[in-house]
Amino acid sequence: MVHLPQILSLIDLCKFSSIMDSDYGAFVEKFNLHLDSSPSLPLNSLTFSVKDMFDVKGFVVGYGSPEWAKTHQVATSTAPSVITLLQAGAICIGSNVTDVLAYSINGENIHFGTPRNPCVPDRIPGGSSSGSAVAVAAKLVDFSLGTDCIGSMRIPASYCGIFGIRPSHNAIPRTGVTPMAPSLDTPGWFARDASILSRVGHVLLNLPKVTPVRPTKVIIADDCFPLSSIPYDAVTQAIIKAIEKLYGGDVLKHEKIDDYIKANVASLNHFMTEENKDSQHNVPALAALTNAMQTIAKYEFKKTHGEWIDEVKPNLGPGVTEMVGAALKSTGENVDVAYSVKGEWRDALTALLGDFGVIMLPTVSGPPPKLKTSPSELKEFNEKAFMLQTIAGLSGGCQISIPLGMYDNLPISISLVAKHGADGFLLSLVESICESMKE
């Protein structure tokens, strides 16, 4: 089978339209991959799908772009992360729509349309792992694979009302996954409940079964909550109550993350612009940290894909055109300092959290925006969203977005962040908290 849209024939377009109608527009391609159906396997009979960045033998990765599909070859092997899930008994049923070149957090694709958010159909699903999030939220699969560079797992998870994890950088092999900015990229996964999220994590991360560990601290990032338009109590009340019930109130701490960043990341001054210092959001150090992350993302994206974009001149569509354009115009100035900031921030976050501490913060800067909101209107909203992604993203740490139901008929969420390498602890903690919240 040819990967749509390798040949944009009328038949192909009708086929794609049919997929859009029946499956919330979440899928690019449907197939059925399975290796073993033994009942003893940890993921036996669970279905999943993969973002259109994962190699599947016999198909062409589309990376959200018809031009990409036309200029790249059929995969000769399947990504190791997908093979691992198949070996655990899961069944892969297709590949999911992504934003063009995965360079957006909105989920709107000029070529394939916007996967329909099952939670709020008049709102965007979030990107760039839009189709993967929608497939899970619409109950088309039990879980799905996506990728996260600067927010592409956590944001669509929040917008679609499901769980989404950005694992620690390099915790899962990136072989067979189209790169965006390699030092920030990581595969991740979505699920509708914490139990399946954890089961998938134990397989992908090869985690041993251990007794859940009591967290040493749950730090409430006081200065991050004003970055979100959702009231503090709406996103913290239930989870704080569950934590107090499970572990006692003494585990809860409060911290101004901006002050901690400022005091512990020495190289950050290079990114402390006047605009950051005068930030109306009152988190200048976090804004500077985000600038460092964006500097790396732009530099690595240009290095990875700049030559292909210059040669092919693909149609990127609104929003993506502007972001890709900014990356291509970047000069790499201060990128070495940005890498220093990255290392310093990982060390600082590890020192703050230790092995069994987490930070609690909003996943996003508000409910999902309406469809077809202009890029100019989204600018400030997305800037604040990026700041909330930086704490885990730049450190290489792990973060889980936890759905909290609806507020004013819109999905809301909270996130927990742990240090690099603490994925097993974080998955177990979230599972315990969510069980308590159900009670």
Asked if 1 and 31 count as a contact pair (C-beta separation under 8 A), the reply is yes
Tell me the three state secondary structure of residue 406.
strand
Q: In what order do the strands lie in the sheet with 217-221?
A: 27-33, 91-96, 47-51, 143-148, 186-191, 163-166, 398-407, 410-418, 357-361, 217-221, 252-255
β pairing state of 91-96 and 27-33: antiparallel
Q: Which residues contact 91 (CB under 8 A, 6 or more apart)?
A: 32, 33, 34, 45, 46, 47, 48
How many CB atoms sit inside 10 A of residue 254's CB? 10
Top pLDDT among 6 and 118 is at 118
279: its two tokens: 């930030």
Average pLDDT over residues 131-143: 98
Report yes or no on whether pTM surpasses 0.75: yes
What's the rounded Cα separation, in Å, for the pair 299 and 187? 20
Q: Render pLDDT for 412-435 as a digit per residue (tens, 0 to 9).
A: 999 999 999 999 999 999 999 999
Residue 361 sits at φ, ψ, to 5 deg, of -155, 165
Answer yes or no: is pLDDT of 267 > 70.
yes
pLDDT digits (tens, 9 = 90+) for 186-239: 999 999 999 999 999 999 999 998 888 999 999 999 999 999 999 999 999 999
Active site residues: 51, 128, 152
pLDDT of residue 279: 56
From the number of C-beta atoms within 10 Å of its C-beta (0-12, 13-18, 19+), residue 265 rates as: buried
- Predicted confidence band of residue 276 (pLDDT cuts 50, 70, 90): low
* 85: its two tokens: 């899930």
